[in-house]
Amino acid sequence: MKNRLKSLRAERGWSQQDLGDRLHISRQSVNAIETGKYDPSLPLAFRIAALFGAKIEEIFEAEA
């Protein structure tokens, strides 16, 4: 699944650790989501969207 997580995080000047702390997940999980190695659960996707003040569809995009 493609996502804009890395760019959204960078816009705010947050490290992967900063984002992980805000979401209560590990830095490694943030990295795995950003690189497309792991798709977040629906509850986590909602938390991510809420943190960035966006809709899930504005952050995550299914690959064709």
pLDDT recorded at residue 21: 98
Question: What is residue 1's three-state secondary structure?
Answer: coil
The two tokens of residue 47 are 């938390």
Tens of pLDDT, residue by residue over 18-57, are 999 999 999 999 999 999 999 999 999 999 999 999 999 9
For residue 15, is it within any domain?
yes
Whether 63 shows a pLDDT value over 80: the answer reads: no
Q: Are 4 and 22 in contact (CB under 8 A)?
A: no
| Structural domain boundaries enclosing 7 | 2-52
Supply the pTM of this predicted model: 0.92
For residue 62, is it within any domain?
no
Whichever domain contains 15, its CATH number is 1.10.260.40
Q: How many domains does the chain have?
A: 1
pLDDT recorded at residue 1: 87
Question: Which of 44, 38, 41 has its CA nearest to residue 23?
Answer: 44
What confidence tier does 6 reach under pLDDT thresholds 50, 70, 90?
very high
Q: Are 33 and 3 in contact (CB under 8 A)?
A: yes
- Rounded distance, CA 63 to CA 12, Å? 26
